[in-house]
Amino acid sequence: MIRLKLPRYERDFIMEKQSHSGFLVFSTFMLITISIAALIPLYPNDFWPYLRIGQEILKTGSLPTIEFMTFTQFGNPAVYLYWLPSLLFLKIYTLGGVTLVGIVSVLCISCFYSLLWLCLREFKVGPLTSWVVLLSVVLVGVNYWSTRPQIFTYPLFGFIILAILRWHKGDNRLLWIVPVLAVLWANLHGSFIVIFFLTLPALLFGEGNRKKMAIVIGLALLATLINPYGVGLWSNMLAMVNNTSIKLYSLEWRPPANQSWQENIFFATLLLIPVLTAFTRPKIQTVYWIWFLGFGWMALSSARYIAWFLPVEAILLALLLKPIFDPFIERSNRFPNAAINRVVGVILLIFPLCLLPGIRGLWWQQAPSVYKETTPIQATAWLKQNPQLPGELWSDYSYSTYLAYALPERKLFMTNRFEDFPPSQFLDDNHIANAYSDWETLLDKYGVNILMTGIKIEPGLIKAVSASADWKEVYADTQTLYLLTSFLRGVLKIGHVC
């Protein structure tokens, strides 16, 4: 009988599969990930306006071509690239409310991180090393888990990375699915260009069949043209990226700043990679360094791109930590009982479902709110019951995003679609919100009679309005305060919504 001695990492991998210890470690990671995702409140900024857009599409039977949600830009040409997620969100919310919305969001995030886990396992990175690396990614990535169109694209991103990693090894089966995903991604979100940021470096520097990769890239490029805007999708996407209002006033388009513990982790792991490289001198394929440099540059230029950089960072970090961690934490027979590992792992995966919105309130008396505190539910209901209040409404940006769906009968000052508004209107909005000397003049300019402001967000405006004899209170509760003048002007102050 001839016996071959396998390398230690291969022996450990085989024993791990037999004992299902890797599944147990994976389950503990997903327990944390899913629990965090389930407890995230529904942010109004990038959810409710899309429901309104979905309603408009169903109402008219076509994609809107003009701005229709505000009185300031009503009728001006507008492009609605995110038409598909608008319809999806509307259908999901109609069928199952916030509970089903939460389930879909959790599924997208869970699928994404499960695919990243598989990506690391392609490099035979041990489960405990994968756990450490991906948990650091989760802690930073949670900032990008709000329910918005982009969330549908995360599983697509993870799948394409996995397909490329297997292509490197000569397995092209998943690669042929990329063009299909390109069609879907192009109709979901403007970030579809990320597909080519992954595949083109692979074509130039990868080790798989370049001819097949080139064919897939060509098909994927053609696939992006299968959308309501055709070739115009590319120009519309580039126009949005270069839009002046977005660049000047959207916080997520600004470079990241080291101002929070999550950003500390981001910059720390970013700097750790070159340090580890100097000590371990790993043999890492060129394509992964190209990804790291490209996506890293994107992440440092705009905070919104960090979401795409983190998976690439996870690959590099895992490859660098693997030779360090293997001798210490990746030992065989840590969890040898296969039956217990399977049972406990399944329980860990099921438990976070109890934390979903609409479910956790059934058993958790002090459960976190389903809605973000900037969602003015009660105040909007009162305003809806008083349609006799005439005049235009100015509201804080966060509140207006909820009003776009919950109060469609009143047009708004602005929405979350920054590209629809000129920089001058953002300046006017800033002057009103901060009660600069011309705040009332600007309200006259726009014909505003009712204001909805935040007690914590616009204290200066509230102080100025309260000191004015032109405004009087007509409604108040512990959460909101409406003021209205005989000249048909008003103010709504909002503290927080439970």
| Residue 30 in this model has a pLDDT that exceeds 90 | yes
Q: Is 391 helix (H, G, I), strand (E, B) or coil?
A: coil
* Alpha helices (runs of H) in 20-153, residue ranges in sequence order: 21-39, 48-60, 83-122, 127-141
What pLDDT, on the 0 to 100 scale, is given for residue 19? 64
Confidence of residue 461 (pLDDT cuts 50, 70, 90): confident
Confidence of residue 10 (pLDDT cuts 50, 70, 90): low
- Cβ-Cβ contacts under 8 Å for 248 (sequence gap 6 or more): 423, 426
pTM: 0.91
User: Please, how many CA atoms are within 13 Å of residue 232, restricted to the half-sphere of its CB?
Assistant: 7
> Pairing between strand 473-476 and 480-484?
antiparallel
Burial 243-281 (b: 16+ CB within 10 A, else e): bebbeebbebbeebeeeeeebeebeebbebbeebeeeee
56-60 mean pLDDT: 96
Q: Is 361 helix (H, G, I), strand (E, B) or coil?
A: helix
What pLDDT, on the 0 to 100 scale, is given for residue 469? 78
Region at 231 (left for phi over 0; alpha for psi -120 to 50; beta for the rest): alpha
Return the domain boundaries, the chain: 8-39+81-350, 377-494
d(CA 454, CA 480): 9
Residue 366, both tokens:
């002090």
* Alpha helices (runs of H) in 302-376, residue ranges in sequence order: 306-329, 338-350
Beta bridge partners of 473: 483
- Are 436 and 450 a contacting pair, CB within 8 Å? no
* Dihedral sign for Cα atoms in the order 268, 271, 273, 276: negative
Tell me which residue has tokens 């409710």: 48
What pLDDT, on the 0 to 100 scale, is given for residue 17? 58
363-391 mean pLDDT: 86
